[in-house]
């Protein structure tokens, strides 16, 4: 039975990836930061077959211990401080975890592999936020990176370090340049979940308004459950490489609001939505849209859930959750 180690097991993507690997017969280990992690109980409840290890991306010795304990054939680095707005407030912490953490894990994997640099296949979760001030539409693997946030800058560092370890040591190291991917598991601080949760609460009479930032920003949104399959497929190739993973479609925040409120049976959403400059980014990323033709041709991957289906899925999930919480 092959073994896999996933960092960021408590995030959105980690559980979807763990479920996929368990279905394929993997022995799955999840790296978690700290003994008292508040999400540990959730992982133990929802993923009882995942073996939890403790470690920290900023502490290479703990990563070495985790690799020794799990002896993985594949390592998926999903761990990061991933909320873009937070990265301006805590740029150094974001850089240490999201940037330097990649180097720490790559070096730990390299040392663990010993004389065989390809002994452990490595996946790095890169991000469309690396494109930032986009220099090409749509964005491909070769588009110039121009990040517009400390988070984006940190992801660029991790992305290029992954390429460097692949080229310098011959490691099987791949980067998935994932565009925005959402699900009912998304944290409520992210705009899609913020909207779906607020729509559910407004529909149930538990909330009066939704406060938003830029309604005209455009994103390429897909379903996280689809995107983790692309991660796995990258590590099944003969050699490591970089791949854009996206739906190749773009939608505005206004379209997100249209679909979410309409699915809940509310047609006129403007009476419930208020804009606040506090939610505007210091440097906005206006248009992100991917060209995933390489992933489709080489990996045989394509998204299964479209944007309206994704929004409906999230609103339905939040309606059920809010009803339960409110005892309705």
Distances (CA, A) of 216 to 72, 106, 244, 261, 284: 43, 38, 24, 17, 11
Question: Do the beta carbons of residue 144 and residue 161 sit within 8 Å?
Answer: no
Q: Distance between CA atoms of 48 and 199, rounded to whole angstroms?
A: 32
Strands 251-252 and 218-219, sheet pairing = antiparallel
Tell me how long the chain is.
328
Closest by CA position to 26, among listed 7, 2, 53: 2
Which DSSP symbol is given to 188?
A: T
Which of 115, 201, 205, 107 is closest to 162 using CA atoms? Answer: 107
- 29 given a catalytic annotation: no
Reported in sequence order, the residue ranges of the chain that DSSP labels E, i.e. its strands, are: 3-7, 27-32, 51-54, 74-77, 121-127, 173-178, 181-182, 210-212, 218-219, 222-223, 242-245, 251-252, 273-275
- The C-alpha atoms of residue 203 and residue 190 are separated, in whole angstroms, by 20
Answer whether 182's CB lies under 8 Å from 244's CB.
no
In the residue annotation, 227 being an active-site residue is answered as no
Query: Residue 107's CB: how many other CB atoms inside 10 A?
Result: 16
Would residue 129 show up in a list of annotated catalytic residues for this protein?
Answer: yes
Q: Which of 26, 95, 123, 129 is catalytic?
A: 129
Angle at alpha carbon of residue 31, lines to 170 and 42, rounded to 5°:
145
- Output phi, psi for 246, to 5 deg: -160, 170
Task: Give the three-class secondary structure for 251.
Answer: strand
Choose the catalytic residue: 151, 157, 165, 227.
Answer: 151
Give the residue numbers annotated as catalytic, written as ranges: 127, 129, 151
């Amino acid at each position: 039975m092959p073994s896999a180690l996933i960092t960021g097991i408590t995030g959105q993507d980690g559980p979807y990836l763990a479920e996929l690997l368990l279905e394929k017969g993997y022995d799955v280990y999840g790296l978690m930061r700290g003994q008292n992690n508040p999400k540990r109980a959730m992982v133990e409840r929802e993923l009882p077959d995942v073996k939890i290890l403790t470690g920290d991306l900023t502490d290479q010795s703990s990563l070495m211990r985790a690799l020794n304990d799990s002896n993985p054939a594949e390592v998926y680095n999903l761990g990061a401080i991933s909320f873009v707005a937070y990265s301006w407030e805590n740029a150094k912490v974001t850089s240490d975890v999201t940037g330097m953490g990649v180097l720490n894990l790559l070096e730990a994997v390299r040392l663990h592999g010993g004389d065989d640099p390809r002994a452990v296949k490595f996946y790095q979760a890169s991000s469309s936020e690396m494109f930032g001030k986009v220099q090409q539409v749509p964005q491909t693997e070769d588009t110039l990176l121009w990040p517009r946030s400390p988070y984006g800058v940190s992801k660029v560092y991790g992305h290029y370090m992954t390429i460097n370890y692949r080229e310098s040591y011959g490691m099987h190291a791949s980067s998935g340049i994932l565009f925005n991917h959402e699900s009912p598991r998304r944290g409520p601080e992210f705009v899609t979940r913020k909207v779906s949760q607020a729509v559910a609460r407004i529909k149930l009479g538990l909330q009066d308004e939704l406060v938003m930032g830029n309604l005209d920003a455009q994103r390429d949104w897909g379903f996280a459950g689809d995107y983790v399959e692309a991660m796995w497929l990258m590590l099944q190739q003969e050699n490591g490489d970089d791949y854009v993973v996206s739906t190749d479609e773009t939608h505005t925040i206004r379209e997100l609001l249209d679909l979410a409120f309409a699915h809940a049976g509310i047609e006129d959403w403007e009476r419930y939505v208020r804009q606040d400059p506090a939610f505007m980014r210091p440097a906005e990323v206006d248009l992100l849209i991917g060209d995933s033709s390489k992933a489709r041709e080489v990996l045989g991957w394509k998204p299964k859930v479209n944007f309206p289906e994704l929004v409906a899925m999230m609103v339905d999930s939040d309606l059920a959750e809010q009803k339960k919480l409110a005892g309705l």
